[in-house]
Amino acid sequence: MAGDDNGGRLGAEFFTPGTSSFTEFLAAHRPELLSTRRILPDGVRAAPDRVPHGTTVLALAFRDGVLIAGDRRATMGNLIAQRDLEKVHPADDHTAVAFAGTVGLALDMVKLYQVELAHFEKIEGTAMTLNAKARRLAGMIRQNLGQAMQGLAVVPLLTGYDASAPEGERGRIFSFDVAGGLYEKRDFHAEGSGSPYARGALKKLFRKGMDRRAAALAALQALWDAADDDSATGGPDINRRIFPIVSVITEDGFERLPEPETAELSREMAEQRSARPDGPTAAP
C-alpha cells in the first residue's frame, strides 16, 4: 500500500492515529482492495452455474473445546468445480472459520479476517474477545450484502475456545446470515446446501462430553449423510484419498487433525456404512 509517489516509503495514512480495524483502514484509504467491494454493476446478477460454490460445513462442541469440519467439494451448477477445496481455516490461535457460498469471495474474506484479528492485536496490544471477533466478522459480512443480493453470498461459520466461559462451555459456535445477523448456537450447527441433513445427523449423534475421536466420527457421519442427500456435498473420496477437513480448538489452540487420522476414521465409517447404509442410530 505504499504510495508510488513516495519512493516506496509508507504514506502519511500509516502514521495518522485512527481505528484499530484493518478493514476500516482499507475502506478509508484503498477501498478497491476490499473483497467486499461490489464487483458487478447494479442490476446484474451472477450466473449460478459460472461461479464455484462451497457447500457443507459444520461444528460441534466436545469435552475439550469445539470441532469444526467441512467437505471438500465445490460446484458450478451441476458440475463439480473442485474436489479438494479447503473450507476450514484458522483465524488465529484459538479461533477458526469455515465457509459455504461463493468460493473466491469467501477465501478473500477469510484472509482479510485473519489480517483483521492480527492487526487489532498489534495495535491494541491484546487479542479481541471471542464475542468481539464474532461481531467483527458480522460487520464484514454486512459489507458484502450488495454482492450477496447479486447471487455472490458468503456464509461463514465461526468457532472459538473461550477461556473466560464456564467449564464445559468454552467451545463456542457462531452462525451468520447474509445480512450480517449474528447467532450463537448451542452444541452444534451446520451451514451450506447439505446443512439440513448434517444437522439432522448431529441431532441424533451429538451428546455432551464427547471425546475428540467420538466428535470427529459424529462430524464425519453428518457429512456423509449430507453427501448422501445433497449432490453438492462431497463425502470421503477413498480412492482419490480426499477426506473432509476436521479441526479442533482447545485450550492448547487450533489443530487440524492429521490426514492419516481422518483417513482412518473415514475408512472405519465406510465399513460401518456398508453394513448399515442409513448410519448409526441415536444413543439410548
Name the active-site residue from 55, 75, 250, 262.
55
Q: At what angle do helices 22-29 and 103-124 cross, to 10 degrees?
A: 110
- Whether 225 contacts 198, CB under 8 Å: yes
Burial state string for 21-47 with b = 16 or more CB within 10 A and e = fewer than 16: bbbebbbebeeeebbbebeeeeeeeee
Beta carbons within 10 angstroms of residue 229's beta carbon: 12
C-alpha cell belonging to residue 13: 495514512
Do 161 and 129 form a contact (C-beta atoms < 8 A)?
no
Residue 233 a catalytic site member: no
Alpha carbon distance 235, 196 (integer Å): 15
Q: How many CA atoms lie within 13 A of 238 on its CB side?
A: 10
| Contact present, 216 and 63 (Cβ < 8 Å) | no
- The residues that are catalytic are 55
